[in-house]
Amino acid sequence: MESVYKRFDSYDFDSDTKFQEGLKLFHRNNKNSSGGGEDKLKDMMLFFYDRFVEPIDQSGYRQWSSTSPPVTLKNSRTEPQDEETSVASDCDGSKGRADVTSVGAEVTQLSFAEVMQCIQEGREIPGVKKLDITPSNQNPTPSQMERIHKPWERDLSPK
């Protein structure tokens, strides 16, 4: 396992666009939270590495890193570079849960209760494409195909 921990310590989080986009989203959604910045960042890095790079035992890594020389977080920014590129937020902007999907697109994941609350309050749900659908107010077109008969309606007499 020690080799996994060393690979994690040497992983270049700065050049990983998925991680950086998720970090921007996290910072934008948690502007007012304070304290534990480096610990939260390390937790985020461990979660990301475990989910997108390779499996890592997070508690084992913490134990290993406490016995080995301290590692600086030189490979990660603690502040987002450009908040203008962040695109997703939840319906009230106060929740901080996010998931970064493939191709670097950011999507906020809401629970069912949060989606219901957004609907009840008339707010838009993030990540849902708003389609321009209007009723035509016309009668439906009659079918041009002949109806398929059910088995008991078919003529079973020999031909």
Give the residue ranges of the chain where pLDDT is below 50: 71-90, 92-105
Query: Coil, strand or helix: which one is 125?
Result: coil
* H or E element that contains 115: helix 112-120
Q: What is residue 145's predicted lDDT score, i.e. its pLDDT?
A: 92
Angle at 120 between CA 119 and CA 122, to 5 degrees: 65
Angle at 42 between CA 15 and CA 81, to 5 degrees: 40
Say if residues 61 and 8 touch (Cβ distance below 8 Å): yes
Three-state SS sequence of 36-55:
CHHHHHHHHHHHHHHHHHCC
Question: Global pTM?
Answer: 0.41
Nearest to 109 by CA among 93, 125, 98, 124: 98
